[in-house]
Amino acid sequence: MKIVHSDKPAFNIFTLGQLDTLEQACCTVEHRLYISEMDYQKGTVTLGMHYDNFDQDDFIKVNVASDSVPAAFYDVYTCAYDRCI
């Protein structure tokens, strides 16, 4: 997972435990999903997808700018659910 830090983050900072929980929640929707990038500068969370022969690091990009941790969690999970189910 790539984490892009910023002096003025666009959304609240996730703890490592919260990131793990978010990734596991996304895996309940589709077991091949993973968090590929947390960009605190741009305000985006990007989910990747593992395929048999390659990884697509930009499968879903979610704009979570100005979100709290719970709101960002909801936005990312909802986008994963809408795209995969």
pLDDT score of 34: 98
- Collapsing DSSP to helix, strand or coil, 74 comes out as helix
Other beta carbons within 10 Å of 7: 6
Q: From the first residue on, what is the mean pLDDT of each consecutive set of 10 residues in the chain (85 residues)?
A: 94 95 97 97 97 96 95 97 95
pLDDT score of 79: 97
Q: How far apart are CA 16 and CA 61, in angstroms?
A: 20
pLDDT score of 25: 97
pLDDT score of 57: 97
Tokens representing residue 27 in the block: 């895996």
pLDDT score of 51: 97
pLDDT score of 15: 95
pLDDT score of 6: 93
pLDDT score of 85: 92
